[in-house]
Structure 1
Amino acid sequence: MISWEQTVQTARSIAAIQQDDGGVPWPEGHVDAWNHVECLMAMAVAGLSEPVNRGYDWLMRHQRPDGSWAMKIQDGVAVERGGESNHAAYAAVGAWHNYLVTGKDPSPLWPMVKRALDYVVGLQTARGEIVWERDAQGRASTYALLTGCSSIHQGLRCGVLLADHLGDPQPHWELAADRLAHVLAFHPEAFTDKSRFSMDWYYPVLGGAVRGRPAFELIDREWSTFVVPGLGIRCVSDQPWVTGAETCELVLALDALGERERAVRLFTDMQHLRHDDGSYWTGWQFVNRKHFPHERSGYTAAATILAADALSGLSGGAGIFRDIHAPASHTCDCTLSSG
């Protein structure tokens, strides 16, 4: 575990890389809405209200009229103009989390969230999955990603809670979330195969679509494939490379299942990636024994703070992953077969 003082130090390492316009970048310098929001959530946990407020101002300024954000924004300019569905959905997670942590009126963020989630549900197929993007010409993609849809599921659930809190219910979001959860739980054929990535393993649990006995079975099925004792979890199954962000997301998934012992052990294991200034190396290549890539990333620091919050109850948002989940369902009687 890490202390409150260490948590604040890590949050300040995120604030240190925030750009003058409020964007929180990748090490390469670009900003995307998903990682940006995650960094704002982490800084909110540590009480860094000024950079958080600037970050949400950035998010509102860069939202496009259709509700999306450009995939990559560099120096305030869109350099990859397609709009990812999971990027848009995560704005709702951030807005709901910010309310849980700060208690501040979320209504200033509501128009942004409403446009974002309407963009997302506009990309849902007849079967229920949500395709991963609309390209720069406005054309919807022909395929969906399991990790992205799992994160979208959480975004829709958070959006429903925010809508109800503000007295502006959006039942079509709840319907979209229910349909998406069903496909995530029972129709793997709906998603492009990315199974070598650890995120495709645990994200259905992290995003709340799969819980209960099926979630335990899912986690146990690939545990030995991805978990490297004493170091964390692999980013991809076929490389000797553990990454801090994925490890902390698995910690959050385990916490959501009440698997505290395994969660704490993994969180402790990944602390070898902590730098003296509180930031975190992205990953460790354990055959070459080198940090890879040779960078410390804001999103890794952010995932670490969110995991620490879940395990230690540092803020009112500690349950944001634990408490958001689909209604329990362990069977499928449908005849869905194609998008």
Structure 2
Amino acid sequence: MTPRELHLEGALTAEQLRRTGAFLLKHQDDSGAIPWWRGGQLDPWDHVEAAMGLAVLGHADAAAAAYRWSARTQATDGSWPMEQRVGVVTEAASDTNQCAYLATGLWHHHLVTGSSALLRELWPAVDRAVGFVLRQQLPGGEIAWAVSADRRPDTFALRTGSASTLHSIVCALEIAAHLGHARPQWERSAARLHEALVERPESFADRSRYSMDWYYPVLGGALRSDAALGLLAEQWDTFVWPGQGVRCVSDRPWVTAAESSELVMALDAVGRTDDARRLLCDIQQMRDDTTGGYWTGYVVDDDAVWPEEQTTWTAAAVVLAVDAVTGTTGGSGIFRDYAWVEDDRADDAAS
């Protein structure tokens, strides 16, 4: 059941969040897999995001089933296909960031439940996944964004994906330390990745029209303090539409609930709590209170939802944002508290 105390004053009641939990459960397959919607596409990142939402909403067993599905379906090299539908692979390439995200989900599950049992059970899957991802690290420290179906790594990196991967490696290191496993090579790789993100932004393919490329170095923990605040201020007016949400891309009148929720968590991580709450309240216009789900996006100029879909990962992102700003569960600080730049392992890795 949804914890009764999980709510957002003036915007979301506990009962509404219970309906969101029911929405997520409705779309989870019996196997534990969580596609975008039942019968729809599934990618490993959004599957984990949905599982995190389930854990926050009190459905820890359903979340654990999702993670066990990930472990069962992992390839021997530690990867997952970029897309599948009802168990049939429809895109065999592997996105490195998507593969790394299992570590974030499992550490979050531990923080929410207080149990280490699932960490111990699925540690081999985390170990393989991080190994796969770090084998794709480029000479400059950034992570190649994908590996093709014939297992050739791409030659370029994405800032968003690499920033998210850095956070996942930090979570993987937390898991390793908790279970008593030393992984100094992960620390060295994380330090190189952090340096690329902070010192060499030109190392990444230009995706500057996308809001995710703007805020993800903060959300992923590569930046904190004045550097993070400065970065968020730089393009605030470009991407934030007052009263509406966050644009997915700078040149379109389209705001999305997931990007808005992620910015909420980035703002929370650097202490801009009032802005975070205001933005989270704004995007409740994209909620469908009948289903408990959220529309993926809203075209402001047309006063229309688009696309006409309610995805599990969108609902989960909103739930995670609510938890972040209210501090309701033990996992509320998953993005706030696990930043490489504030981790004293950074100094150790450099020595």
Task: With the length of structure 2 as denominator, give the TM-score of the two structures.
Answer: 0.91
- Which shifted more, 275-284 or 243-252? 275-284
- Which shifted more, 115-124 or 28-37? 28-37
Counterpart check, 1:25 vs 2:39: no
* Aligned counterpart in structure 1 of residue 72 of structure 2, from 33, 51, 61: 61
Match of 1:77?
Answer: 88
Once residues 95 and 182 of structure 2 are traced to their aligned partners in structure 1, the CA distance between those partners, rounded to angstroms, is: 24
Q: Which amino acid aligns with 1:247?
A: S
Q: Deviations over 1:218-249 (max 9, x none)?
A: 00000000111111010000000000000000
Counterpart check, 1:98 vs 2:109: yes
Counterpart check, 1:299 vs 2:313: yes
Match of 1:280?
Answer: 294
Match of 1:135?
Answer: 148
Q: How many residues align?
A: 329
- Which shifted more, 3-12 or 86-95? 3-12
Match of 2:127?
Answer: 114
Counterpart check, 1:16 vs 2:16: no
Q: Which runs of 4+ in 1 moved over 4 A?
A: none
Once residues 91 and 260 of structure 2 are traced to their aligned partners in structure 1, the CA distance between those partners, rounded to angstroms, is: 28
Counterpart check, 1:89 vs 2:100: yes
Any idea what SS the aligned residue of 1:327 has? Answer: helix
Once the two structures are superposed, the pairs formed by residues 139-150 of structure 1 within 5 Å of their partners are: 139-150=152-163
Q: Which amino acid aligns with 1:298?
A: T
* Aligned counterpart in structure 2 of residue 319 of structure 1, from 333, 339, 346: 333
* Aligned counterpart in structure 2 of residue 154 of structure 1, from 164, 167, 170: 167
Once residues 203 and 73 of structure 2 are traced to their aligned partners in structure 1, the CA distance between those partners, rounded to angstroms, is: 31
Counterpart check, 1:165 vs 2:175: no
Once residues 42 and 302 of structure 1 are traced to their aligned partners in structure 2, the CA distance between those partners, rounded to angstroms, is: 4
Any idea what SS the aligned residue of 1:123 has? Answer: coil
Any idea what SS the aligned residue of 2:294 has? Answer: coil
Pairwise CA distance, 1:8:
2.6
Pairwise CA distance, 1:96:
0.5
Pairwise CA distance, 1:173:
1.0
Q: Deviations over 1:252-290 (max 9, x none)?
A: 000000110100010010010111121111110011111
Any idea what SS the aligned residue of 2:139 has? Answer: coil
Q: Which amino acid aligns with 1:11?
A: G
Once residues 258 and 92 of structure 2 are traced to their aligned partners in structure 1, the CA distance between those partners, rounded to angstroms, is: 26
Once residues 228 and 318 of structure 2 are traced to their aligned partners in structure 1, the CA distance between those partners, rounded to angstroms, is: 22
* Aligned counterpart in structure 2 of residue 3 of structure 1, from 5, 10, 13: 13
Contact 2:221 2:341 in 1 (8 A): no
Once the two structures are superposed, the pairs formed by residues 227-246 of structure 1 within 5 Å of their partners are: 227-246=240-259
Pairwise CA distance, 1:4:
2.9
- Which shifted more, 279-288 or 7-16? 7-16
Counterpart check, 1:289 vs 2:300: no
Which segments of 5 or more consecutive residues in structure 1 lack a partner in the other structure?
330-339
Q: Which amino acid aligns with 2:177?
A: D
Once residues 192 and 11 of structure 1 are traced to their aligned partners in structure 2, the CA distance between those partners, rounded to angstroms, is: 37
Pairwise CA distance, 1:212:
1.2
**CA RMSD across the alignment:** 1.3
Once residues 49 and 303 of structure 1 are traced to their aligned partners in structure 2, the CA distance between those partners, rounded to angstroms, is: 17
Contact 1:235 1:241 in 2 (8 A): yes
Once residues 225 and 114 of structure 1 are traced to their aligned partners in structure 2, the CA distance between those partners, rounded to angstroms, is: 39
Contact 1:181 1:210 in 2 (8 A): no
Contact 2:286 2:297 in 1 (8 A): yes
Contact 1:37 1:90 in 2 (8 A): yes
Contact 2:224 2:341 in 1 (8 A): no
Identity %: 46
Match of 1:337?
Answer: none
Q: Which amino acid aligns with 1:193?
A: D
Q: Which amino acid aligns with 1:33?
A: P
Match of 1:334?
Answer: none
Pairwise CA distance, 1:328:
5.4
Task: With the length of structure 1 as denominator, give the TM-score of the two structures.
Answer: 0.95
Counterpart check, 1:310 vs 2:320: no
Any idea what SS the aligned residue of 1:97 has? Answer: helix
Counterpart check, 1:39 vs 2:80: no
